[in-house]
Amino acid sequence: MIDQAPALILLIPFLASIIVALVGFRFRAVCYPLVLLGMAGSVWASIVTLLSVLEGGVIRYHLGGWEPPFGIELRIDGLNALVVVVVSSVSLLAAIYSKRTVLAENGDKVSQFYSLFLLLATGLLGMVLTGDAFNLYVLIEIAALTSYALIAMGPKRATLAAYKYVIMGTIGASFYLLGVGYLYIKTGSLNMVDIQEQLVARDLAGSPAIMVSFILITVGVWIKMAFFPLHAWLPNAYCFSPTTSSCILAPLVTKVMVYVMVRMMLTVYGAEYTFAHLEWSRIIVWMAVLAILAGSISALGQTNLRKMLSFLIIAEVGYMVGGVWLAEEMGMVGSIYHIISDAFMTLCVFLFAGIIISKTGKTDLNALDGMFKKMPLTMVGFLAGAFSLIGIPPTAGFFSKWYLIQGGINSGRWEYVVALLISSLINAVLFFRIIEIAYFGVKPAEGHDHHHSDGHDKISEAPLSQLIPLLGTGVLLLVIGLYNKDIVAVISDFLSSSNLGSGIR
């Protein structure tokens, strides 16, 4: 059973999704427990896998018993063992939250929604686990197709946003596919580790075809992760979708794509090719600086809570891309650590936004008027996420920024350090504005006639199914922050095994 854990991570939610699709439309009540069961099984399997990776090193699981260069393998090292635990537990927390919201927002499509939800989780987990470049393309498309449908289940504007996402997402995935094609022409292999061996053995570093494939794959992945000039699909898609969809999409999709970028750079092309041979680090860090500033400044102008958070995701993607491309070990550690912490803090604030929307029915910031009195526990959960996004110790966000800034200083990229600090300040402004509205109430000049207002006074604490994931995420943010040394040790182990040294200045 333990030996099969890597495959079970994928199979449990996948089978649960099929069962939900078959049984759910007749017996709506079984959907929610089945989803919880499926995701809990996946969390269990991923934790077992993480433990055995920590103990015995890299796991290579041959699907169907075919040997790696020919068959598809799941290859799990320190990096994706960590990320897979994050992905499965974020999906579990979002699933717990979904109990009431799915009934309220998509009451007529409960089984379809949950079936897609589990399939999305399967796709994302598969992207993290797989060791095969073409298999990764198929899993990217599985995750993408399900997320199009999950977004389009929202009201009016969501459908338009989903359409734009279909167009952009398809371009991104197709670029990736083309890049894999060029890699296949030159190396004759689709297995990630084998591609790297072939690149070295055949001395292909100077080949223009390999460079073209690198550009195509990188741009394709950037479109999918909403890196700044290619981000146009993201804000509306996450802002108008059903709240449960945004709770699983916003934390996971962009972070998993950042993971894919790191995997491509370090495992497939190798650090030496990416950093030493190409020498694009300078330009791309500047692009990341632009992404950070653009995301943060756009977030300042938003009055819609979820739209503001969506722009923050764009800034966070800038942090991670910049951190990876600093070509410096601390920056790389910071980026990978930020994948983990950002998944949880984005989940935390999106859960909070979902609770506010389902309680008040409003989406703008003024809906938070006086929330500290009405729902104190919810606000406590929110504070953990907000402090983490600002970067206040001892939350996870502080430590990831700490490592990223250290990386920026070590490599002498001051523009990146400055952008990170400005973005943290803007986050502080944004979240203290929310805290002010929630604590002191809306100023009479802004929120006129709010005194004799509607059902606002009847609002009370969120139900348990929504509070548990929110507070759980808040606690996890503190735990990840406090145990940062151990997590960083795992990441450093991974980096030292992927011969980073030769590519780093």
Q: How far apart are CA 70 and CA 113, in angstroms?
A: 36
What is the phi/psi pair of residue 233, to 5°?
A: -75, -25
Residue from 21, 48, 141, 459 touching other proteins (CB under 8 A): that is 141
Of 44, 51, 69, 478, the one binding other proteins (CB under 8 A) is 69
Nearer CB in complex with other proteins: 185/283: 185
CB of 250 to other proteins, least distance (A): 20
The answer to whether residue 272 forms part of the interface with other proteins (CB under 8 A) is no
| CB of 160 vs other proteins, minimal distance in Å | 6
User: Cβ of residue 172: shortest distance to other proteins, in angstroms?
Assistant: 12
Instruction: Report, in Å, the least distance between residue 177 CB and other proteins.
Output: 6
Segment contacting other proteins by CB under 8 A, of 132-140, 286-294, 379-387, 421-429: 132-140
Q: Which residue's CB is nearer to other proteins, number 145 or number 324?
A: 145
Q: How does 485-502 read in b/e, with b if 16+ C-beta sit within 10 Å? A: eebbebbbbbbeebebee
Q: Which of 19, 30, 36, 138 binds other proteins (CB under 8 A)?
A: 138
Which residue lies nearer to other proteins by CB, 76 or 308?
308
Q: Footprint of other proteins on residues 445-484 (CB under 8 A)?
A: none
DSSP symbols for 408-465: HHHTT-HHHHHHHHHHHHHHHHHHHHHHHHHHH---TTTSTT-TT-SGGGG--PPPHH
List the structure tokens of 312.
Answer: 């923050």
CA distance 178 to 417: 35
Q: How many residues bind other proteins (CB under 8 A)?
A: 26
What does the alpha-carbon distance between residue 290 and residue 296 come to, in Å, rounded to a whole number? 10
Is 502 within 8 Å of 276 (Cβ atoms)?
yes
147-186 binders of other proteins (CB under 8 A)? 148-149, 152, 156-157, 159-160, 162-163, 166-167, 170-171, 174, 177-178, 181, 184-185
Of 163 and 439, nearer to other proteins (C-beta) is 163
Number of Cβ atoms within 10 Å of the Cβ of 15: 16
Cβ 181 to other proteins shortest distance, Å: 6
- Among 227, 471, 254, 240, smallest CA distance to 343 is for 254
What contacts 9, CB < 8 A, 6 or more positions away? 42, 45, 46, 49, 84, 88, 125, 129
Two structure tokens written together for 52: 């055995």
State the Cα–Cα distance between residues 290 and 3, nearest whole angstrom.
45
Of the pair 44, 163, the CB lying nearest other proteins is at 163
* Residue 130, SS3 per DSSP: strand
Of 163 and 402, CB closest to other proteins? 163
Round to the nearest angstrom and report the end-to-end CA distance of the chain. 44
Shortest reach from residue 156's CB to other proteins, in Å:
5
CA dist 8 and 494 (Å) reads 23
Number of other residues whose CB lies within 10 A of the CB of residue 32: 21
Residue closer to other proteins by CB (options 10, 162) is 162
Q: How far is the CB of 182 from other proteins (least distance, A)?
A: 9
Nearest distance from C-beta of residue 125 to other proteins, angstroms:
18
> From residue 24 to residue 63, what is the string marking binding to other proteins with x (rule CB under 8 A)?
----------------------------------------
Residues 145, 234, 313, 339: which binds other proteins (CB under 8 A)? Answer: 145
When the beta carbons of 93 and 166 are compared against other proteins, the nearer one is 166
Give the Cα separation of 213 and 217 in Å (integer).
6
CB of 267 to other proteins, least distance (A): 20
Instruction: Annotate 31-55 with DSSP letters as a single string.
Output: HHHHHHHHHHHHHHHHHHHHHHHHH
CB of 171 to other proteins, least distance (A): 7
Q: Which of 2, 22, 70, 202 touches other proteins by CB under 8 A?
A: 70
Shortest spacing between CB 202 and other proteins, in angstroms? 15
Tell me which residue of 280, 310, 312 sits closest to 427, measured CA to CA.
312
Residue with tokens 């939800």: 117
425-450: burial string, b at 16+ Cβ within 10 Å, e else:
ebbbebbeebbebbeebbeeeebeeb
For residues 291 to 330, the per-residue mask of contacts with other proteins, x marking binding by CB under 8 A and - elsewhere, is: ----------------------------------------
**Interacting residues with other proteins between 185 and 214 (CB under 8 A):** 185
Which single residue is written with the structure tokens 């009055």?
303
Least Cβ distance, residue 307 to other proteins (angstroms): 13
Considering the complex, state which of residue 34 and residue 153 has its C-beta at the smaller distance from other proteins: 153
For other proteins, the binding residues (CB under 8 A) are 69-70, 134, 137-138, 141, 145, 148-149, 152, 156-157, 159-160, 162-163, 166-167, 170-171, 174, 177-178, 181, 184-185
